[in-house]
Every structure is written in structure tokens, then in C-alpha cells.
A and B are shown apart, each in its own frame.
Chain A
Amino acid sequence: MMAPLGDADHCRDKARKDLVALLEGARGKKNLVISQELAGPVGLFVKFSVLQEYGVDRVFLLENANIDSSQRNVVFLVRGEKAQHVRTVAEQVKRLRTNGNVEHEITIIFAPRRTLVSNAVLEEAGIIGDVNIAELPLYFLPLEQDILSLELDDAFSDLYLNKDPGCIFHSAKALMGIQQKHGYFPRIVGKGDNARRLADLLLRMRKELDAEESSGLADPSARGLLPSADTENLIIIDRDVDFGTPLLTQLTYEGLIDEYVGIKNNQADVDTSIVGQAPTPQSQESSKTPQQAKQGLKRKIQLDASDTLFNQLRDANFAIVGDILNKVARRLENEYETRHSAKTTNELRDFVNKLPTYQLEHQSLRIHTNLAEEIMRLTRSETFRKVLEVQQNNAAGADPTYQHETIEELIARDVPLKSILRLLCLESCMSGGLRPRDLENFKRQVVQAYGHQHLLTFWALERMELLQPRSSATTMLLPTSGAQAGTKTNYGYLRKNLRLVIEEVSEKDPNDISYVYSGFAPLSVRLVQCVLQKPYILSLIKGGSPAASVNNASTASPGWLGFEDVVKSARGSTFSLVQKGDDKAVRARQTLSGNAATKTVYVFFLGGITFTEIAALRFIAAQEAPRRRIIICTTGVISGDRMMDVAIEKGSFSKAE
């Protein structure tokens, strides 16, 4: 079979083409005003130099509100779903109109769609008739060949704090895009209430598409959509099924960078004191905030597969990163030494040809060695050790009350609030809530230590069901108390029945996904394994507890088959839906295309995924490699800190301006 463009490349190309076409629509030079949350994602598929080629003179951030009249053409790029941003745009358009003597030609591009609400906002502002309005159908953006992300920064807070299901709709639209390209997912397997909602939306949209398609509204290429021949299934995991995992400190290299530096849209802003200055001071985006210069320069580091060294390191447990770096350093050294042994001109030419790659590798080696050393320094600190100890005890299912003293000490020592809250939430998630007395105690201590505004923080955490008092009915979630279709994930039961804790895992030469947390397997990914790697999980369980119900499920058993009971102990709805098509057509297609050797599995993490989970999924993907291809889809990359950020009240009683 001919291999068409991968999903990632397809998304990237399409997004770029669409954007460029829209920019061309505004003739001549133009200024581009872009909202903060879109600036990063846009960088994923188009370079600034390309924008310049299409007449973009300067780029402004919408939030800075500093657009000027230097160009007649002004193009705004915002999310249409964000009424607040649309209002800001309307204000700025009005200001452009009144100020200055240039008559502006204004274009507003809504991504991913133009909404009724934004229409209403523009109408109210009285400018809807005077601006060009366009849509940029921006859905999945490729972070890597195997990762498609919607890059929705607010997905987590919307879903769990605000209970705003907008991003589910957004996700459904994005997945419909994939279905329109490849055909319907033959099966949708999922876990979690929001996941169920997403699956229902997908079914509904399919019905609506069928309706629209035959009415000639959809584009003709999508006609007669059938279950896909080269897709195996779609697995949807709702983040709230496994809140516990992201609360743990990630222990892979990329995960740790995310924890300590933060990775956004494949880029990390690292202090130059750690990685040194950028080699060639490129004139980057026009507006550089002076504030940045003051507090030590940051350097943007691109973290993706284009950096081969990073690609080796990213998913490795941090414990072995040092080894790899050493090895690479030695190899580079050796290669460089070959210049002395080069005798013939051919050998010399070879060497010179390799020089640029060598230099690149060397550069990347220097960056990552410095970065790894910095992280090493942090992981050696006493507080890091204490935090990790509490986490691992919780993950292993030890009595959490023994950890309380340590947490109290950490509070008194003024470690960052996020770390404290992560520990408390972790305990709450893992053992079904804190004892009310303990929770009260911690509330008081945290509020006294970090400020009374955090009463709001606690309220938000409770609303997200991250930190709750243990209700008297469910005492502690005991490993034995079995499957009750729960409103809470029973880690106790699952820890045992899915072998989440594997003490003897090797970090160097891992044989189980638990290596990513040095001994704890992310529940979310275990669930994926329950669908994809049934025999493996069964053998794991057999080793553990013979009591677990073991159906002799063969590899071919689809969906949750064989694990229904176990999976019930995780929170939310469990489902496995088959999308049938016209049987005759399906068979015809199968005979035509043959049974594709490699089938694609889409794993969608609704509400966000961590880098460790990505690493774990890649580990599975490598095992399944010849038969299956796993594409990871998500609303965005998340970490425990980002989860806490959503809840933490930013205001404070001191000097509020």
C-alpha cells in the first residue's frame, strides 16, 4: 500500500496552507495581531520567515494591546470560542478606527471556527459590517510524528473546574477530521464520563455528517464514508479517570524538564545561565519585553525529534540520562578524532561533510549536559527527596497518614505551594479523600502559610474533585473492596489488579511501562494496555494475585473484553462502541485494499497527557511496532503543576493593584 502523508504532516501542511491562503487574502503588507494562546501553536506549523514572505510585517500579541497604525492592513487571529478575546479584538478595532488617520483594512481570522457568539459580539460593537471575517480550521497540531495535540491551554480547567464541555466538542470536531481522512474508527473504546460524552458526540456527528453528506453540503470527497480499513480503533481516556498519575513527579528526562523548566509547544525557555547564550543572536520576534532582559535572559530551546540526541534522551528515565550523555560525548570525541587519522582526500572530504552534523550534535550535547546537570542538582535537594518519598509511598499504597508529618514540615519550610497541593491531591486521589480532620488541619496550615486567598484554591480543588474529604461511607479504598461502578477511581483495587506497582523494574533496560515513574505504572496507560496488550496484563496479574478473574481472552478480543470488572473500579463510564458501515461496501474495500499490515490505533487523552504517559505509550508502541502504529492525540500536554495552576488563586491580599 502506498503510504500517504502521515497524520502529523498532513495536519501541519493543511494548517500552513490554510493560514497562508488567508494571509494572502489581505493584499500587501500587513500587521498580524495574535492572541497569546495561539501564538505558540501557530509556531508549530509555520515559521516567522514564512509569514514574512506572505507580507506579515510585524506580529503583535493581542494581550499587549499595542497594535499601531504602521500598516494599513491588520489581521487578527483569535479563537472564536473565546468571547472575551473577541471583545478585546472589537475594542482594538474600534480604537484603530478612531485613532490615527489611516483607513485600516481589517481582517479577523477565527480559529478554528467562526461562532455565533463572536458574531453577536462584533455586531454589538458595530463593526461586523466593516471587517473581513475568515475561518482557520485549526484542530490537531502535530507536536511530533506520533503526537497530535489540540494545544488547548484551557482544556483542563474548562473540563474539570468550569465544567464547560466546549473542548469536548472541539475534540470531536478534530477527530471527525481524522475520520474523514481515514474512514470511521471501527471501534471506539473509552473510559470516563467525558470520554463517553465525546464518543456520543462522535456518533452524533457521524449521523449528522451522513445527513449533510447526502444533501451535498459536505465536500464530495467525504462521501460514502466507511469504517476505516487501516485504523484499528480509537481509545479515549478521560483525564479524571486517572488524576493520580500526573500528580506524581515525572521522572523521564522530558518530564523533568517540563516539571522544572516547562515545555510549551515543543519549546522550553531556559535560563541562559544554564545553557549559555544562543549561538547566533537571531533577530527574533520584533517585540521583546524589557522585563525579560532584567531577570536574566531566557533562551528558547527547541525540544523535538529534529534534535537526535534529545530524541534518545526524552523518554529515558532520568537515572540513566547521565550514562547516555557520557556515551554520546565519547562517541563524538572519537568521531572528531578521526580527522587526524584521515589520510586520503576522500576521507578528509567525508569528515568535512560530516562536520555540520557533528557541530549540531555537539551543540545539542552541550545544552543537554548543562540542562541535565541543573536538573540533577535539583533532584539532589533535600526537599525533592522528601517530596518524592511521600509520592512514592502514596503510589505504593502505604498508609498516607504516616506522610502527614513530612508534608507539614514541607509547608513550614515554605516549599512552593504547588508541590504541597500536589501531595495533598495525590493522597486524596489515591485513597479516596483525606480524613476530614486531616483535611481541615492542612487547610488551616496552608492558608496560614501561603495566604488566606487559598481558601479559593481549596474550593477549586474540591470542585475538580482533586482534593476531597473522605466521605464516611467509603472509608478507605481497600484493595479488596471490589468493583463498584465508581464515582472515584479505586487505586487500591486497581493497584493490585492491574499491577500498577512494580518494584523491580529496570530503569536502564525497561520491561514495563512503570519505568517512567521508577516503579509505578500510570493507570491511564495500563488501561490502554487492557485494550491493546491483554495477554501481557493477564500474565502480570497472574504473577500477582490469583484471585483476579482471569478469562482466557485471546489477543483478538476487542474492547475491554476480559477486563470489564477491573476497569469498572476506575471512575466514570466504560464503553466500547462499534461503528458499522455498509457491510457489502466494507468487504469490497477490504478485498480491494487487502488487510493492511499495520493498523493505526488512536489514543486520545481528553483533558491532557503528561510527557511520562507519552513515554509509556511510546514504549508500548515500540513493542507493538510491526502490527500497530499508535498515534497519541490529546487536548494538550499537562503536568501536575499545570493542574494546580488552574486551581491556585492568583490574587493576594498584599498590594492588589
Chain B
Amino acid sequence: MAPVNPLANWEKVGDSFYRKIPVYDAIFDEDVELENYIVAGAPYGGAIALYRDESKPFRLRDSQSSRTSIEIYSCSGKHINTINGEQATIRGLGWSDKEELLVVFEDGTVRRYFGLDGEFTSFSLGNGAEEYGVRACQFWASGLVVLLSNNQLIAVSKYDEPRPRLLAPCPEGEVSSWSLIPPAHTLSRSVEVLLAVDKTVFLVDTTEAEDKILQDGPFKHVSVSPTGRLVALFTSEGKLWIVSNDFQSKLSEYDSKSRVAPSSVDWCGDDAVILAWEDEIHLVGSNGTASKYYYDGRVHVIPEMDGVRLITNDTCEFLHKVHDVTQEIFRLGSSSPASVLLDSVDQLEKKSPKADENIQRIRSSLPSAVDACIKAAGYEFDSYWQKRLLKAASFGKSVLELYNSDDFVEMTEKLRVLTAARDYQVGLPISYEQYLRLTPEGLIERLISRHEYLLAIRVSEYLQIPADRIYVHWASQKVRVSTVDDEAVCKLIVQRLDGKPGISFEVIAQTAYDEGRSHLATQLLNHEPRAGKQVPLLLNMEEDEMALDKAIESGDDDLVNYVLLHMKSKLPLASFFRMINTRPMASALVETDARGQDTELLKDLYYQDDRPVEGSNVLLSEALQATDPQRKTEKLHLASRLLSDSKDPTVMLHQKLVSEASQLLKAQESLDKDLADHNEFLGLSLNETIFRLVRAGYGKRAHKMQAEFKMPEKTYWWLRLRALVAKRDWGELEELGKNKKSPIGWEAFYNEVLGAGNTKLASIFIPKCTHLPVADRIEMWVKCGMIVKAGEEAQKAKDVNTLELLRNKASGPAITEIERMINQLRPRK
């Protein structure tokens, strides 16, 4: 095959060259009348959706039903699927980045088809869409904006969790055209819309509609360039304006000399605009230069990020700007190093010495020439020129001593993949730049949705990308279409996927379940390694118990809680309890949750589980929360009764203490009645009660309480001591000190009284501390400031050293006293 001259279809527009590459031919049957269809193409060379344009008259054929349907084709014209539409009128057809088809109906329903298989989810736009009806819609990579007939705009920015949001209200007037700016290119980072109303254009976002104040409308078309920097406006006079996105400066103007507005205005890359009429295309470049193409039939334009696809009955073409690298190599008379390098391959084949001459000439810039050839190979669609360029690169790098061949190797890999994808059997006319944007994973995804499993696996192996998704998709498809029995399908799938890492059996099982084969689903689920993933499906399948077990296995408390929530609302209480009481984690979570919210449930649970102490504790908590004393005692009574049957000594103690609590409350109530005018004692602890009684001078009652509640003598003494000190009742304390013995010793008395600052009274207790060592007692005297007494103590112990120390501390007459003692002890010389 003779190589096509690479310059053959170049066209100079302004300063740049554009070229139109025929990718496929003979796409559609002759009887598909393209002019009667609305065509929407998915980005990155994706599928094309055809929908009958109802505004066009068409011949009614007997075979065609009146039902509208959407046909999906590949770019090479291979029929992929037919989606049967509903009766409702379709107002918009668009694709997302992930090749999901979005269909917007007049009543505001949006259907999202994924995977080209006809499976869909749908959501409603709301916000008055039903009332007013959808007029038109526009799409971007991950969202859409809908224009209602009342000029309201509704935006949906993601499809996974669609949340239709009303944009700012628009001014009244006739909307002649509109366009959206995707969130990635706006300042607000959310979608904005250009609305051509009457003579001007409004920029509408979520908060306001800003009038750009133009006078030359109405504009028949508004279109925003792929990077959002430029806007193309088509006026009613047939002029095309390119303006900056702030509408401040007009960059160029082009007169189409057509009274009829074009059917579409699209951007081809960021610097040219395509005007399309029925069978005519104007490519408008910078400064109003243009180039025109004519066709035999209707031509449809599908914009891409780096060019446009042109679809006619016969051909699919890719029109794009010639890349600088390519231009540099192939332009007539080019003498760039890369061009010379390419030439030397020719010379080499002719065995001409000029090959070497050439190389020597460009020696200094050889590395960049090699790079350029590699890069240019990527932009070529023709394999002849790809090979040629790579050969040149290979020749060039063989001359170089040191060259990193990674780019070269990667490019060959990419080209192989691209060639496979562009094959007409597959029909993905993806350009090199689009492939970079789509990523290899994205490409594989597309292959999967076309059921090109073998190719997908080959590509993933070639590029070393995990292939499990392909297997899973294959298996799901198998589940869908196979008619053999469950066992056989499961066996087949498991066998085939055995040893493949990362297979998500959950997805396959979900498919099986959706197909109504729940037995198969259960079987498949057993192979899923991620316990957590199985839970939602198991719940759907009403396999609650298994779901609970799997949730517990996953260790994720959220999953367990979720399953429990589900089960609690579904099961009768008794079976719910049965379900959880063998699973400690589950019952712990139920208990924790119920403790805050649902004490009745808790009581039932403890009753059923025969845990009387816990049950009684719930009542005790309720008693604490009750405000009315009557209620408190009632609850306490109930709490104590729950435990009355037990023989366990700890439980018996517990029960006794619970009833003691109500006994105490009763006693305090009568104290309040007798002694205080408001609730002073009610609810205090026993110790506190007695402390306050003593402090208030009701010693007798305190004693009675002590006896009634069998308070240990020691505790009682401590309380009395502290209360009396607090009361500063020195007399009573002295009275106490007359006791022969104190259960808490006398040191405590000394300390407390001293702490309260009464040294005189404190000192009374010192002689009673007979069990303490002398040194301590001396210290105690000193603390009371009674040096002499301390001295006496030391004298008794015949401790001269201490006495001498004491002498230093003493003052006034005490000094002589101490000295006297020292002298007594120390024998005169």
C-alpha cells in the first residue's frame, strides 16, 4: 500500500494547519437518514447515540413502531445496543466522561445508562421541572444543566448522588441560545451558564445572574472553548465573534455570509471554531480566517478535547489542529532536525551516504530530534508514518551514546494499544492526547463495556494493569446470559477466576441476585474476601443472620450497627434478642445504644437474658433521674424487688444496699420535715447527712442515724470530729476529748483542730497520743507553739540534743526554762 502523503489533508487556517483524518468509512446503512436524527457522541472517541429528531418530518414505515428508541453505535458504525424509550419526549441526550448515556425527558426525569448494556438508574430534577417542562439541556464531563421553559436553570454536578440545584433566577426574555462553563474552568468552582437573552448575555451561577451588557444580540449560538478562556458568539447577522470569557474584548470576527444560523457551533481545540450547516462545515481560525468543507449529506459534529469528530453516513473523520511537532517535521521545506532525521532513514534505506551526513549535520540537536520523532509518532493515525517516525527515532538514538529510551518504549506500547482500539471492529477512534486523558484504565473500561473481554485482558496484561474488573464483568455477564443451573455457573466462574487476585465476588453475586438467582448469589458471596462488602447484599437478600455474622467478622462497628438497626425494625423483639444474645459484640452494641435512648428495650433485654442485677440497675438509674421523691422510692422498690429471689451473696448485698437507699431517703424526708424548711437533707449521702446534723447541732439525731444504718464507729467519730471542727464547737470537742479512748486515735483530733487554728485545744490531745514516739510528740508541741511543753517531753526522754535545738526556737521566758532543763540533764562539770 502506498503511503499517504502526510500533508495530503492539511489545510492552512490563519497561522496554523488543520487536518482532517478519515478514520472509518461506510459507517451507516444508506437507509439511516442521518439528517433526521439527533446525534450525541461520548467523549474520547466513544459511542454515538442516535435519536430520531421529532421536529423533522419522516416517512412512516410499516416496520417502525411509533415508539421512540435510542440507537447506540460505535464510531465505526457497529450497532451496540438499542434502548427502547418511553412515551415521554426526550429533551436531551448526552454522555458523561465514563461513557454513561444520560437521557433527559421533558418531565424532568433523567436516566443514566451505564455500561452500554441498557441498565440504568433514574432521578428526577424536581424544582418545578415537572410543571414547566424541560426545554433543553447541556452536559459536561460529570454533570448537566437543564433549561426549563420558564428560563429556570437546574444543575446536577455529580451523578452518583444527584442533587439537582436551582441556579440563580434568570431574567425574563427569550433565550436564543445558551452554553455552560464546566466547574473546572470557573472561578466559583461550580458550574456557570451563559444565557443569551434578547440582546445580551447573562452569566448565571448559583447566586446571581450577571448581565454582561452586550448590545448586538440576539445571539443564535453561544459556545465556550474547552479551556473556558474564549467564547464564540454567533449573531443574527451571520457573524461569528470570538470574545474573551469576561466579554471585555473581541478577539476576532468572521462573516459567514449566511442568513441561516448554523445547526451547531463547536470548538475545535482551543483556537478554532466549527460552524456546521446541513452539509457544510466552516472551520474558523484566528483573525477571521476560515476554511470550508462540503459534504454530500448531513454532517454531525462531535466535539472532543483536541478536535472534532465529523460523522456522515459514509465516514467518520477526525478534524484537529496539526501539532507543532508534526508540523515541524512534515511541513514543506522544513529543515528542522527531526525532519532531517526522518529524511536520513530514507537515505539509509537507499544505502546512501547522505544518511550519515544528515546525522552529522544535526548532531548537536539529535536528542531533541529523537524526542520530536517519538512525539510525532503519537499524533499520527497512519501506521505507516508511525513506523517511519519510530524508525527515525530508533536510528537517531542508536547514534547517541546515552539516551533514555523509556519514552520510546512507552510510545511503542501506547501505539500498539491505540491501534488495537482504533480497529474498526472495536471502533474507538481515540487520539493520542485523548488516550492520555482517558488513561489506560479508562480505555479498558470502555473495552469491557463493549464486551471486548479478550482484548481488554490482553491490553491489561500488556500494560500490567490489574485485570480483575474485566473478569468480574465477564462473570457478571456470564451470570446474566447463562441458562445452565446455578451449581454449574458457580463452578465455571470460580474455576475461571481461581487464583486471580482481587476478584470482587460481591459484584458478581449482586448481579446474580438482581437476575433473581439468589441461591447462586449466596454461593458466589462465599468467595468474597471482604466481609464488609457482603453485608448490604445479604441484607437485600434477607439473609439477616448471615449479614450480622459477616458484619461482626469485618470488625466494623458501623456495619454491625447498621444490620442491627435493620433487624430491630424488622424482627419481633423476642427473635431479635435471640439473634443477638449469642453474639457478644452485637448485644454490647445494642445495650450501649439503648442505654441512651430506649431503657424499656434494655429492661426487656435483661429480663429475657435473665440478668437481674443489670435490670435492677436500669431501674436504679431511672430512680436517679426521677424528680419526684415518691417516684424515686417506687423505682428503688422495684429495683430491689427484682433481686429479692437471688441467693448469691453479692447480689444479696446489692439488694440490701438498694433498699437501704430508699430507707435513707425516707429518713431524710422526715429530717427535712422536722428540721429544715426546705429540702436540705434529701438525697445526700449518709455520711453527709450525719455531718450536717452534727454541724447543725443535732447530735442526738446523728447518733440515731448512725445506729439505724449501722455506721462503723470509726466513721462516725471522724464525721463528728470534722463536723465539730467545721462548726468551731470547741466546747463539744473538749468534751469528746474527755473520753478515755477514741476509735480513731487522738492524733486525728490534734491534726484537725490544729488545722482549724486552735492551738490551745489541739495541745490538749497531745498527751493522749501515748502510742506515738517521743520525737513526734515533741514536734506536735512545737507546732502548737508550746516549746516548754516540748522541752518537758524531751527532758523525760533525756534527750539533750533535742533540747538544745528547742532552745534555739524558744523565745522569752521559755529560753530560761529550756536551759534549766538542759542543765538538769547535763551533769555539771
Contact = CB atoms under 8 A, between A and B. Distances in A.
Interface stretch (A441-449, A495-503, A562-570): A441-449
B751 interface: yes
Contacts of A84: 596-597
B683 A654 contact: yes
A653 B632 CA distance: 8
Interface stretch (B59-67, B290-298, B622-630): B622-630
Nearest to B629: A653
A653 B593 contact: no
Interface string A210-239: 111111100000000000000000000000
Interface residues of A, number: 66
Interface in B259-289: none
A268 interface: no
B712 interface: yes
A484 B469 CA distance: 50
Interface string A232-258: 000000000000000000000000000
B684 A215 contact: no
Interface in A19-54: 24, 27
A201 B555 contact: yes
A651 interface: yes
Nearest to A80: B558
B709 to A, nearest CB: 7
A455 B654 contact: yes
A456 B468 contact: no
Nearest to B654: A455
B190, B556, B658: residue with the most chain A Cβ atoms closer than 10 Å: B556
B665 A412 contact: no
Interface in A297-330: none
Contacts of B561: 83, 115-117
Contacts of A530: none
Interface in B573-608: 584-585, 588-589, 591-593, 596-597
B687 interface: yes
A653 B665 contact: yes
A216 B654 contact: no
Interface in B674-719: 679, 682-688, 691, 709, 711-712, 714-715, 718-719
A117 B665 contact: no
A652 B668 CA distance: 14
A168 interface: yes
Given A455-B620, A469-B650, A449 B625 contact: no
Contacts of B714: 408-409, 412
Contact of A443 (B189, B562, B653, B665): B653
Contact count band on B: 35 or more
Interface in A438-488: 440, 443-445, 447-453, 455-456, 459, 469
B658 A455 contact: yes
Interface string A146-188: 0000000000001000111110110010000000000000000
A164 B593 CA distance: 10
B734 interface: no
Given A129-B163, A162-B592, A656-B626, A459 B718 contact: no
B722 to A, nearest CB: 7
Interface in B167-195: 188-190
A287 B298 CA distance: 69
A212 B530 contact: yes
B735 to A, nearest CB: 20
A656 B627 contact: yes
A436 B652 CA distance: 13
A85 to B, nearest CB: 11
Contacts of A451: 683-685
Given A211-B530, A448-B709, A382 B751 contact: yes
Given A162-B591, A163-B584, A214 B558 contact: no
Given A653-B682, A654-B683, A165 B555 contact: yes
Contacts of A166: 557-558
A448 B714 CA distance: 13
Instruction: Pick the most buried of A129, A453, A455: most chain B CB atoms within 10 A of its CB.
Output: A455
A652 to B, nearest CB: 6
Interface in A582-605: none
Contacts of B468: 214-216
Contacts of A158: 592
A366 to B, nearest CB: 30
Contacts of B650: 436, 440, 469
A655 interface: yes
B624 A164 contact: no
A204 interface: yes
Nearest to B745: A409
Contacts of A443: 653, 657
Contact of B556 (A83, A169, A210): A169
Interface string B491-517: 000000000011110000000000000
A215 B624 contact: no
A412 B469 contact: no
Contact of A120 (B565, B722, B744): B565
A412 B504 contact: no
Contacts of A469: 650
A652 B465 CA distance: 64
Contact of B625 (A24, A80, A83, A656): A656
Contacts of A144: none
B746 to A, nearest CB: 14
B460 to A, nearest CB: 10
A413 interface: yes
A148 to B, nearest CB: 21
Contacts of A447: 657, 660-661, 685
Given A409-B744, A653-B632, A215 B751 contact: no
B613 interface: yes
A649 interface: yes
Contacts of A201: 555
Contacts of B715: 408, 411-412, 445, 448-449
Interface string A424-448: 0000000000001000100111011
B529 A651 contact: no
B649 interface: yes
B585 A165 contact: yes
B630 to A, nearest CB: 13
B558 A651 contact: no
B758 interface: no
Interface of A: 24, 27, 80-81, 83-84, 113, 115-117, 120, 129, 132, 158, 162-166, 168-169, 172, 197, 200-201, 204, 207-208, 210-216, 382, 408-409, 411-414, 436, 440, 443-445, 447-453, 455-456, 459, 469, 649, 651-657
6 contacts: A129-B163, A197-B555, A216-B466, A654-B682, A654-B684, A656-B625
Given A215-B502, A449-B688, A649-B624, 11 more contacts: A115-B562, A163-B584, A207-B529, A215-B472, A409-B714, A412-B714, A445-B712, A451-B684, A455-B658, A459-B613, A656-B627
Instruction: List 6 tightest A-B contacts by C-beta distance, closest first.
Output: A654-B683, A214-B502, A452-B661, A412-B718, A651-B624, A166-B557
